[in-house]
């Protein structure tokens, strides 16, 4: 089970983020899945595939060249932990301010719980403070 769960998480980062295949969200995430550490417009955890589609569209709209590399991955039972590095260029305006064309490089960790071969819950801890500093927002 651990190897299968790790493969799902690798696929998530490669296809959903690096390749921008939003249709894969519905295939890999439970319809009622919850993603902590990422927020909707009201500041709540991302809830459900519809909520994640909105977040994905907004973030990839701002960073269309995003590349997420899984540097380390561990799995036990129904949980997978991935340490990632992220590189992108802020060329879109979907974050609510003009594109800065600034490159960003951040790191983070995602802890993912798999249920019925789909992402049921995730906890993301990415350095968005560093991202905002690199963009000149802070």
Sheet strands (E) in 2-137? 29-39, 45-47, 67-76, 79-89, 103-115, 118-126
- Find, among 28, 30, 23, 55, the residue nearest to 124 by Cα: 55
For the chain, the domain total comes to: 1
Which CATH number fits the domain that encloses residue 120?
Answer: 3.10.450.50
This prediction has a pTM of 0.95
pLDDT digits (tens, 9 = 90+) for 50-96: 999 999 999 999 999 999 999 999 999 999 999 999 999 999 999 98
pLDDT at 41 over 90: no
Per-residue pLDDT, averaged over 24-29, amounts to 98
Domain that holds residue 104: 2-135
């Amino acid at each position: 089970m651990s190897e299968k769960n790790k493969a799902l998480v690798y696929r998530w980062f490669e296809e959903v983020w690096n390749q921008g295949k939003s249709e894969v969200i519905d295939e890999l995430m439970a319809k009622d899945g919850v993603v902590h550490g990422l927020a909707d417009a009201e500041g709540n955890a991302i809830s459900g595939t519809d909520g994640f589609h909105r977040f994905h569209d907004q973030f990839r709209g701002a960073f269309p060249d995003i590349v997420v590399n899984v540097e380390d991955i561990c799995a036990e039972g129904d949980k997978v932990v991935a340490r990632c590095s992220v590189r992108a260029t802020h060329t879109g305006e979907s974050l609510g301010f003009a594109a800065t064309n600034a490159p960003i490089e951040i790191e983070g960790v995602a802890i993912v719980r798999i249920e019925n071969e789909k992402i049921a819950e995730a906890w993301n801890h990415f350095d968005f403070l560093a991202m905002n500093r690199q963009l000149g927002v802070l």
